[in-house]
Chain A
Amino acid sequence: MIIKVLGPGCMNCKTLERRTREATEGLTPPPVIEKVEDYQQIASYGIMRTPGLVIDGQVVLSGSVPSVEALKALILQHATQAGTKA
């Protein structure tokens, strides 16, 4: 699983990155978490609010910073969806 946190480096973006790392602790295999700060790349995902969260190329979140619990649920949901597709 590849998770990208999209954000130019404002407070919210940093919080989202930290919470995403917390939410994925202990997952096997551990997901790759990347921070995308380049505006051009951020824009290419089509989001109009930062921060954004992209899981395996799919935008799952923009403009909000959910709690660690909500992030866990979001990531789990994505993982099971991906599992049933494959």
Chain B
Amino acid sequence: MKLPRGTYSVLFLTLWIAAYLSLDPLASLFVAMLPLPSSSHLAESIKFFVYEVPKVLLLLVIVVFVVGIIRTYFSPERTRRMLAGKPLFAGNVMAAGLGVVTPFCSCSAVPLFIGFVETGIPLGVTFSFLVAAPMINEVALVLLWGLFGWQTALLYASTGLVIAITAGYVIGKLKVERFIEDWVLAVHAEAHPDDAPLRFEERLTAGFRAVREIVGKVWPYVVAGIAVGAGVHGFVPENFLAGIMGKSAWWAVPVSVLIGIPLYSNAAGIIPIVHALLEKGASLGTTLAFMMAVIGLSLPETIILRKVIKLPLIAIFVSVVGFGILVVGYLFNAVY
């Protein structure tokens, strides 16, 4: 541990690349040694599991590390300064983008909301941030990339951004400032000077810390999610879900969204399962809508926000974002 951070990082990256390159050979070797007929359901499931788990975990480590470093260049204070005084539409675009890179956890949603309101950032712009921040997160993107391919990850990120921008813009146009709890407007706090800029060594340390904290927290969900996914992959017949979650079922999108909103799961657990659903005949639009509803509109976050905004605005927030997700669902079902 006494190695300088730079050397340590180079060592870490080298090891990572070596591990990534040996993924396929090692997994094939393991599968070849299985005392099972290779076409059996169980063998199919096990193969899927040993290929996907190490791959996704490795991708997770590297992406979380890089994002951890990028996040040290942003802070809520800085984001707030950048958003102050921006007009509605441009503000929404910036807020959604900053929502992706600014360090954020839903437990900080309230102080962040207050901090934004206090500086006079329009409510609609604040909401663009609050929609994008949880929906487009590195864990979700890695799982989409690892299991579905980068195209789907990109699709998810861009439609997520569009929803965050539009939903915030619409909320801004609705003039809902009266639904902010009164005590929030009464808060007057002094701003703090920024922390001293970090040295690059310290940013690397932050990257490693992010890996320890985030990967340390989500890996059991990744493993469990892929295990369930592997079970579905091996045992559930092809096209089993085509009737329920396929394109032909017009009601599948709204039902997926309605089920997804109260369902609280992190991306790590839900995406591998959703991947398996897609394979068994669910359509892309329905699947995407379900994922977005689960990850982007979570019940705990809404309950936390209730402390600073009144019920009508909670309802508006959930319906506007929910409607955006619906549109995305139908759009992708129509196009693909």
Contact = CB atoms under 8 A, between A and B. Distances in A.
A48 B189 CA distance: 11
B192 A59 contact: yes
A30 interface: no
B226 interface: no
A50 B107 contact: yes
B110 A8 contact: yes
Q: Most B CB atoms within 10 A — which of A45, A47, A49?
A: A49
Contacts of B111: 39, 42-43, 47-50
A59 B103 CA distance: 19
B96 interface: no
A81 B304 CA distance: 37
A60 to B, nearest CB: 10
A8 to B, nearest CB: 6
By secondary structure, the B interface counts as helix
Contact of B308 (A13, A39, A45, A46): A39
Contacts of A39: 110-111, 114, 307-308
Contacts of B191: 46
A39 B192 CA distance: 18
A10 interface: yes
B285 interface: no
B115 A48 contact: yes
A48 B108 contact: yes
A6 B326 CA distance: 39
A12 B103 CA distance: 14
Contacts, number: 59
Contact of A49 (B103, B189, B308): B103
A48 B105 CA distance: 11
Q: Most A CB atoms within 10 A — which of B108, B304, B307?
A: B108
Contact of B76 (A8, A13, A49): A49
Contacts of B307: 39
Contacts of B189: 43-46
Given A46-B115, A48-B80, A49-B103, A63 B108 contact: yes
A48 B76 contact: yes
B336 interface: no
A47 B187 contact: no
A55 to B, nearest CB: 14
Interface string A62-78: 11000000000000000
A8 B308 CA distance: 14
B115 A63 contact: no
A80 interface: no
Nearest to B186: A40
A62 B189 CA distance: 14
Given A39-B307, A40-B183, A40-B187, A47 B107 contact: no
Given A39-B307, A50-B111, 6 more contacts: A8-B107, A43-B111, A43-B115, A48-B111, A49-B111, A63-B75
Interface of B: 75-77, 80, 103, 105, 107-108, 110-112, 114-115, 183-184, 187-192, 304, 307-308
